[in-house]
């Protein structure tokens, strides 16, 4: 091999830039226009499905409603495993106190509707009065529920499967009554001694939504647990 062939190979010449790009200016793309939205005309507080807290209340209702459905299915499942319900030797539930409970619950619905209308008018005196009366109603509900469990069912929770199922249904719904009592009493105290703002009226209105659920959910359970053992075998 000759000495000339052992040296470094020559590199090919670089291609010249295209004529139309040789002197092209280096410019940045213009920034995108900023989008602005005027929200000055939007209300400071809204009610119903326009309020995010209303959706939270609906979610809570869905969870509690599903829980009550499960309790009812447990009651029915155990019922079908017995030839007689309540089992032989167990008294049927009394109807007096549970019927009074239902009557008071239904009687409270016009009050709740009246209070909700007052919240939409931002009427502090009427909202305050409505919550105090609702607190009395709710306290009566809780007291009657204890009486239903101790007196009206005529069975202890650990006596048999029927007693456990009946206590499960009434006790689970009773937790709703307790939670609502704390909430309603809290709003009554707040509107009595606090400084309510517009946003608080929407929250107060949502209490009525949950109240309707609490009352209306009990009607079929009342029929199932109190009257069912009397007419369905």
- Residue 21 inside a domain? The answer is no
195: CATH: 1.20.120.80
pLDDT single digits (tens) 160-178: 999 999 999 999 999 999 9
Neighbours of 111 (CB within 10 A): 18
Domain of 107 in residue numbering reads as 51-231
pLDDT single digits (tens) 79-97: 998 988 999 889 999 999 9
Predicted pLDDT at 49: 73
Domain tally for the chain? Answer: 1
Q: In terms of pLDDT, which residue wins out, 223 or 39?
A: 223
Element (H, E) at 204: helix 198-222
Cβ-contact 47, 127 below 8 angstroms: no
User: Longest Cα pair distance anywhere in the chain, in angstroms?
Assistant: 122
- Residue 88 inside a domain? The answer is yes
Contacts of 100 (CB under 8 A, 6+ apart): 144
- Residue 35 inside a domain? The answer is no
- Residue 155 inside a domain? The answer is yes
Query: For the whole model, what pTM was predicted?
Result: 0.78
- Residue 185 inside a domain? The answer is yes
Report the percent of the chain where pLDDT is more than 70. 81
Nearest to 152 by CA among 225, 99, 95: 95
- Residue 106 inside a domain? The answer is yes
- Residue 223 inside a domain? The answer is yes
pLDDT band at 137 (very low <50, low <70, confident <90, very high): very high
- Across residues 203-207, what is the average pLDDT? 88
- Residue 44 inside a domain? The answer is no
Q: In terms of pLDDT, which residue wins out, 192 or 199?
A: 192
């Amino acid at each position: 091999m000759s000495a000339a062939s052992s040296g470094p190979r020559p590199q090919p010449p670089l291609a010249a830039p295209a004529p139309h790009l040789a002197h092209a200016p280096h410019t940045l793309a213009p920034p995108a226009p900023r989008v602005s939205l005027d929200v000055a005309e939007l209300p400071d507080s809204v009610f119903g499905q326009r309020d995010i807290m209303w959706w939270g209340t609906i979610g809570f209702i869905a969870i509690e409603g599903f829980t009550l459905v499960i309790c009812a299915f447990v009651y029915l499942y155990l019922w079908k495993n017995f030839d007689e319900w309540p089992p032989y030797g167990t008294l049927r539930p009394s109807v007096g106190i549970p019927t009074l409970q239902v009557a008071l619950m239904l009687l409270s619905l016009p009050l709740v509707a009246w209070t909700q209308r007052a919240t939409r008018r931002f009427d502090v005196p009427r909202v305050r009065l409505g919550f105090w009366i609702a607190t009395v109603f709710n306290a009566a509900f809780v007291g009657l529920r204890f009486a239903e469990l101790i007196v009206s069912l005529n069975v202890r929770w650990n006596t048999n499967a029927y007693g456990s199922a009946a206590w499960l249904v009434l006790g689970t719904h009773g937790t709703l009554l307790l939670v609502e009592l704390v909430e309603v009493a809290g709003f009554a105290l707040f509107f009595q001694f606090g400084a309510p703002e517009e946003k608080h009226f929407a929250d107060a209105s949502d209490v009525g939504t949950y109240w309707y659920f609490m009352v209306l959910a009990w009607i079929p359970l009342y029929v199932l647990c109190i009257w069912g053992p009397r007419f369905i075998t």
